[in-house]
Amino acid sequence: MVERAEPDAVGAARAAPPGVRGGRGGWVVAGIAGALAGVLAFHRAVPNTPGRIGSLLESFLPWLGVVVALLLVVALVRRSAVALVAVLLPVAAWVHLFGGLLLPGTGGGGRELTVVQHNVSDENRDPAATARALIGTGADLVALEELVGPQLAVYEKALAAGYPHHVVRGTVGLWSTYPLSGERPVDIKPADVPEGWSRGVRAVVHSPYGNVAAYVAHLPSVRIGAGGLASQRRDESARLLGRAIADERTDAVVLLGDLNGAVEDRGLAPLTSRLNVAERGFAFSFPAAFPVARIDQVMARSATVGHIRTLPATGSDHLPVLARVALR
């Protein structure tokens, strides 16, 4: 009588059904997927201390989609039903947060302004070429930051024909095809910044669709170091700008600026809680060589920012962004 040999461990693994084959590895993937889904769905619950870790996470939140995709590939390779089902959780969370940005933009009809926001960089070696690129967009409004020294004169001269109305305060400015009034600086200076720092301006744009209060702002830079994200000045400046917009009596408002933060970043909550953000488009604008975040923003009140996109690189370390704003 010939005895049948018991299958060894390898044979047992090969014979296991697809749902079990992933074994312990499948459960590890499932655990990671569950944690990732929790981070995406409840990112506001991540504490901001120490080192403003919550803001740091939210600055790059869309990129967690890459991790989700890698987990999906691993689950498919392992043929683990447990892992595949678990990965659907972060997929759903990511799509809920960012899926709409992938959809094509739609026209806003006749009551629409085209706006461009660009930090032109104080180290831009060819401001004239940058100005020509901005003119070529045909935008109704152009907001610029880091306007310094002789470069400002270049922009004023180059943009004059296409944009006869403009205002500059400090290092920020607004150029418009439509008349402006009520121009004034907006004080967004953090308390510990020396006097003379001026990075905010407001003007009323008299468009064919009604008056629009346009704000241009350049919030303080943030730094990532061993202690985490240094964003205290940026956050304080955002609060000051949020109060100014809350006090604005003109119904329709458009904010254009280098806000040094993504719209998911809780540090910009004083603005995102009061203004609509872009409904379509990721438009990662910084750094220009390899953009990983959109810190150049277009937001609006009593208006919809339907679509936002980046434009080709100029001599700046930021990419320009163009958006269509539909007035209500």
Residue 320 lies in a domain: yes
pLDDT, tens digit, for every residue of 18-72? 444 556 778 999 999 999 999 999 999 999 988 899 999 999 999 999 999 999 9
Query: Does 240 lie in the same domain as 212?
Result: yes
Residue 86 lies in a domain: yes
Q: Which of 102, 133, 164 is the last residue of a domain?
A: 102
Query: Does 172 lie in the same domain as 295?
Result: yes
In the chain, the number of structural domains is 2
Query: Does 232 lie in the same domain as 91?
Result: no
Residue 157 lies in a domain: yes
Query: Does 192 lie in the same domain as 94?
Result: no
Rounded Cα distance, 90 and 67, in Å = 10
Contact call for residues 103 and 280 (beta carbons, < 8 A): yes
Give the structural domain span for 42: 9-102
Contact call for residues 232 and 51 (beta carbons, < 8 A): no
What amino acid is encoded at 259 in this protein? L
Q: Which of 74, 102, 130 is the last residue of a domain?
A: 102
Q: Which of 102, 132, 149 is the last residue of a domain?
A: 102
Residue 272 lies in a domain: yes
Query: Does 130 lie in the same domain as 51?
Result: no
pLDDT at position 163: 98
Q: Which of 262, 259, 245 is nearest to 303 (CA)?
A: 245
Question: Over 90: is that where the pLDDT of 10 sits?
Answer: no
Rounded Cα distance, 300 and 282, in Å = 17
What amino acid is encoded at 268 in this protein? L
Query: Does 124 lie in the same domain as 31?
Result: no
pTM comes to: 0.90
Question: 39: buried, middle or exposed (CB in 10 Å: 19+, 13-18, 0-12)?
Answer: middle
Tokens describing residue 35: 């944690």
Residue 18 lies in a domain: yes
Contact call for residues 322 and 308 (beta carbons, < 8 A): yes
Residue 2 lies in a domain: no
Tokens describing residue 18: 């697809």
Query: Does 181 lie in the same domain as 303?
Result: yes
pLDDT at position 22: 53
Least confident of 70-84, 197-211, 243-257: 70-84
Query: DSSP letter at 293?
Result: B
CATH of the domain at 181: 3.60.10.10
- Angle (CA) 228-234-237 rounded to 5° is 155
